[in-house]
């Protein structure tokens, strides 16, 4: 079997989940390899995403690992047979890998959640806003690289505006709504764009106003993508030092709890739209 040169985040996740099942069963890699008629090196490549695995082998391993979650097994089998080469592959070698990983994650997500304190979530950004964000990068990006990032960000919107949009909820702090990225006109267009998108039945936008008592923030920007089953959910922490995809059950549980706390502190959808309308009139 040909070794992959650069597995995608989804391929790595499949391997990691198979490793988790093996370890939960108390088996060594060589024992699982024997079951498949291969060796420990090949098993290591499967569990690291560098080698593919068939649906039949996924189900064979799951049975050997005494996995009793049929929904999880089916979801893993779907991941194993997926041969999607999405639009994001056009950017491989042109943009950093995390850009592609995020787009792939959104494409396969069953739902999406965002929490933003200082910026408008990427899926809601206008072209002017996105260009303003990337233009502020230090060191400054060459113009072709900047335009690639803007184009990629706009194409990501297909997850919530395409032919099969997924449910999406964003909780945005008033600070992010008031920061005039790209100038007054661009800020006005951005707020108007959010209002237009929020009218869709599958999109919910909530606002956390400054005057809220006892709100301590959300540590950092948070993105949460639903998997085929909850165990395959993914949280994304976007920080100055880089983007991290989080899939451990303990951390996913912590992020779900955090999102519920932030959501509970925010305005409902209708008052949030009214709030954004008022901000728009100020510009």
pLDDT of residue 84: 80
pLDDT digits (tens, 9 = 90+) for 156-185: 999 999 899 999 999 999 999 999 999 999
State mean pLDDT over 64-89.
94
Helix, strand and coil percent figures for the chain, each rounded to 5? 55, 10, 35
pLDDT of residue 219: 66
Residue with tokens 């994304």: 236
Question: Residue 2: pLDDT band by 50, 70, 90 thresholds?
Answer: low
Whether the predicted pLDDT of 240 surpasses 60: no
pLDDT of residue 218: 66
Q: CATH 1.10.260.40 residue ranges in the chain?
A: 9-81
Radius of gyration of the chain (CA): 21
Residue 147 half-sphere exposure toward CB, CA atoms < 13 A? 3
Dihedrals phi, psi of 210, to nearest 5 degrees = -60, -35
Domain spanning 9-81: which superfamily? lambda repressor-like DNA-binding domains (1.10.260.40)
pTM, entire model: 0.92
pLDDT digits (tens, 9 = 90+) for 35-60: 889 999 999 999 999 999 999 999 99
State mean pLDDT over 17-30.
95
Q: Which two tokens stand for residue 183?
A: 């100038």
Percent of the chain with pLDDT over 70: 97
Q: What is the pLDDT of the chain when averaged over all its residues?
A: 93
Whether the predicted pLDDT of 241 surpasses 80: no
Q: CATH 3.30.870 residue ranges in the chain?
A: 87-282
pLDDT of residue 48: 95
Q: What whole-number distance in Å separates Cα of residue 12 and Cα of residue 114? A: 23
pLDDT of residue 102: 95
Collapse the DSSP code of 160 into the 3-class scheme (helix H, G, I; strand E, B; otherwise coil) and give the result. Answer: helix
Whether the predicted pLDDT of 238 surpasses 80: no
Whether the predicted pLDDT of 112 surpasses 70: yes
pLDDT of residue 143: 96
Whether the predicted pLDDT of 213 surpasses 90: no
Question: Residue 1: pLDDT band by 50, 70, 90 thresholds?
Answer: low
pLDDT of residue 83: 82
pLDDT of residue 109: 97
Query: What's the CATH code, domain 87-282?
Result: 3.30.870
């Amino acid at each position: 079997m040909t070794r992959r040169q650069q597995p995608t985040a989804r391929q790595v996740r499949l391997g990691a989940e198979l490793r988790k099942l093996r370890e939960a069963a108390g088996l060594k890699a060589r024992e699982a390899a024997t079951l498949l008629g291969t060796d420990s090196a090949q098993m290591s490549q499967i569990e690291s995403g560098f080698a593919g695995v068939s649906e039949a082998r996924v189900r064979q391993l799951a049975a050997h690992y005494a996995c009793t979650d049929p929904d999880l097994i089916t979801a893993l089998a779907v991941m194993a047979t997926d041969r999607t080469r999405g639009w994001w592959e056009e950017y491989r070698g042109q943009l950093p890998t995390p850009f592609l990983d995020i787009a792939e994650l959104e494409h396969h997500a069953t739902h999406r959640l965002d929490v933003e304190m200082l910026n408008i979530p990427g899926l809601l950004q206008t072209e002017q806003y996105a260009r303003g964000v990337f233009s502020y990068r230090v060191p400054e990006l060459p113009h072709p690289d900047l335009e690639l990032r803007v184009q990629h960000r706009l194409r990501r919107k297909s997850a919530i505006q395409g032919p099969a949009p997924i449910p999406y909820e964003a909780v945005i702090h008033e600070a992010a709504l008031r920061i005039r990225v790209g100038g007054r006109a661009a800020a006005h267009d951005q707020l108007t764009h959010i209002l237009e998108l929020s009218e869709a039945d599958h999109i919910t936008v909530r606002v956390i106003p400054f005057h809220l008592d006892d709100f301590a923030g959300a540590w950092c920007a948070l993105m949460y993508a639903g998997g085929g089953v909850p165990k395959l959910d993914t949280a994304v922490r976007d920080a100055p030092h880089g983007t991290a995809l989080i899939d451990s059950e303990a951390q996913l549980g912590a992020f779900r709890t955090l999102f519920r706390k932030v959501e509970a502190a925010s305005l409902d959808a209708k008052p949030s739209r009214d709030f954004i309308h008022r901000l728009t009139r100020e510009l």
